[in-house]
Structure 1
């Protein structure tokens, strides 16, 4: 991981229920796993975030491994405090690599990231956002 983080908490590697198993979902023939990344932004980056926002959106639009992405806010209409993504990847390492070139990440806007292996309940239920 990049040294600029105060906190990096990567879960899933020691989750005894899932280590060594392949709990997969199927998406158009893929057997990749799902991961959730929760980003916390550095304080005082609102102006820089605004400058990079369109580049960040373009990056997300061209990155097929990020299935869902959005900002996290303390209150409706409030300032972004970070983000939450659902990532499709073959491994925890691939999920971690997925966000390394995101403009927000690459330009130091993120204070920390937590990465978790995600197993969706009710796998037969589809979700459309």
Structure 2
């Protein structure tokens, strides 16, 4: 199954947290590349960085929750919360991944 994980950053978090833990976070992502297919920060309409997003392949939401808890960013206070959303991908790389029933 595919999941989207939306992270909400804590507004009161130290602005240097992301920078000081980035190497460990990237190492973690690489170590879990078989599950975490894409990851990155989001930006608001003013171009200011905030929050984050992962695309994860896993058997269950519990597996995704465990991954989030193991991420070096999690215990730092950078993240305020996260949502795990099951995602059905129907289109990728210029191709339909499902057949239309119409």
Give the TM-score, by structure 1 length.
Answer: 0.65
Runs of 4+ in 1 over 6 A off after TM superposition: none
Q: Is the strand fraction higher in 1 or 2? A: 2
Higher relative contact order (CA 8 A, sep 6+): 2
Q: Flag structure 2 segments of 5+ consecutive residues without an equivalent.
A: 97-102
Q: Is the helix fraction higher in 1 or 2? A: 2
Give the TM-score, by structure 2 length.
Answer: 0.80
For 1:1-129, list aligned pairs within 5 A: 33-43=1-11, 44-64=13-33, 65-75=35-45, 77-78=47-48, 80-122=49-91, 125=95
Per-residue CA deviations over 1:53-109 (Å, capped at 9, x if unaligned) read 11111111111211000101114642x211000011001111111111111113221
Cα RMSD (Å) of the superposition?
1.9
